[in-house]
Amino acid sequence: MTKVLSLGIDTSCYTTSVACTNGKSIVFAKGTMLSVAFGDRGLRQSEGLFQHVKQLSPLLVELFSAVDRDSIGCVCVSCAPTSQENSYMPVFLAGLKQAETLAAALNVPLIRTDHQSGHVRAALFGNESLLECDRFFAVHISGGTTDVLLVEPHRDAPYRIEPIGCSTDLHAGQFVDRVGVALSLPFPAGKHLETLAASAQKKDVKLASAVKGMTCSFSGAESAAQRLLGSVPDAELAYGVYDCLARTLAKLFAHTANTYGDLPFLVCGGVASSSLLRSLLGKRFFGKLYFGKPELSKDNAVGVALIGADRRATWES
């Protein structure tokens, strides 16, 4: 049987996920969220690693019940948060060690990548026209990143990523989660806060947006939101958070375009799965905006599997 499939594994801070792709379609994809106690705003890395170890094996058993193992031609795994030197988190060891064992057992190549590259590649699924560009911007917004990246499609990588902008304090997802938990919503709070925001009768809460050059800040807005707790309806405060995110990102995007040129923006990461944020961004920034599929914007192994498929394709061409 031809080994046409790439198996991907990603063990991020809050999701254990596996996927299989032939490079053009998703054959299998499933993830399991890590468990966070109600009221908490995250997990220690040791607890995250422990939960990944427990959750990864059942996911792989399910994958192998749906996919012929003889059709798998490589195993690709995220080993670090980003492609930058010294980028490291212990949670990625769970996926790496399992991937090493699987690649040896299946007698196929092991391909290493990083979580952020996986997010960019997942967002490119359905937006492959961007791979024909000389350069484009990718904006990775999540609980652990608010990064503006200059991406150059590249044969061996399959693209080269250069960080050019970031948040100087809280990340977009942290802003959402901290306000959400303060409003007694479960963690991660994104989908719950968005649902609450959708019920807002008024949209008068304006939290200050802070952008300076290629950096932004959310700590001041988060402190202001905390001070408003109880004095404005919860739904209006929730809407104010997304309004602030959109205004901040739109300013950051505009400065990026003025500095580096009028290139397309690919927005990825868990926060980018929000339909409310997408709508608000579209009203505030008039450049070329591309979004990944909402279900592929959250942490998942699809992008990792696609990177494996891309890498194999370069070897065989």
**What is the spatial distance between Cα 171 and Cα 248, in angstroms, rounded to a whole number?**
12
Strand duo 15-21 + 5-11: pairing: antiparallel
Same domain, yes or no, for 200 and 96? no
DSSP-assigned beta bridge partners for residue 266: 138, 290
Q: What is the pLDDT of residue 161?
A: 93
Which pLDDT band, with edges at 50, 70 and 90, does 39 fall under? confident
Same domain, yes or no, for 18 and 113? yes
Q: What mean pLDDT is reported for the chain?
A: 95
Q: How far apart are the first and last CA of the chain?
A: 20
Res 235 pLDDT > 90: yes
In degrees, rounded to 5, the angle at the alpha carbon of residue 163 between the alpha carbons of residues 162 and 168 is 175
Would you say 30 and 61 are in contact if contact means Cβ atoms under 8 Å apart? no
Same domain, yes or no, for 176 and 283? yes
**What is the spatial distance between Cα 122 and Cα 302, in angstroms, rounded to a whole number?**
6
Residues 6+ apart with CB under 8 A from 101: none
Res 61 pLDDT > 80: yes
Which pLDDT band, with edges at 50, 70 and 90, does 172 fall under? very high
Q: What is the pLDDT of residue 157?
A: 61
Nearest Cα residue to 12 out of 129, 99, 90: 90
pLDDT digits (tens, 9 = 90+) for 77-122: 999 999 999 999 999 999 999 999 999 999 999 999 999 999 999 9
Same domain, yes or no, for 226 and 259? yes
Res 315 pLDDT > 90: no
Same domain, yes or no, for 182 and 286? yes
CATH number of the domain within which 44 lies: 3.30.420.40
Dihedral (CA of 85, 88, 92, 98) sign: positive
Residue 136 falls inside a structural domain = no
**What is the spatial distance between Cα 240 and Cα 10, in angstroms, rounded to a whole number?**
33
E strand residue ranges, 276-316: 289-291
Q: Is the preceding omega at residue 81 within 30 degrees of 0, hence cis?
A: no
Would you say 110 and 99 are in contact if contact means Cβ atoms under 8 Å apart? yes
Q: What is the pLDDT of residue 316?
A: 66
Res 162 pLDDT > 60: yes
Average pLDDT over residues 271-281: 97
For residue 229, what is the DSSP state?
B
Same domain, yes or no, for 239 and 284? yes
Same domain, yes or no, for 27 and 94? yes
Q: What is the pLDDT of residue 158?
A: 64
Residue 67 falls inside a structural domain = yes
Number of domains in the chain: 2
E strand residue ranges, 213-316: 215-217, 265-268, 289-291
Q: What is the pLDDT of residue 3?
A: 86
| Domain encompassing residue 271 | 172-291
Q: What is the pLDDT of residue 317?
A: 56
Residue 243 falls inside a structural domain = yes
Phi and psi torsions of 164, nearest 5°: -125, -10
pLDDT digits (tens, 9 = 90+) for 242-257: 999 999 999 999 999 9
pTM: 0.95
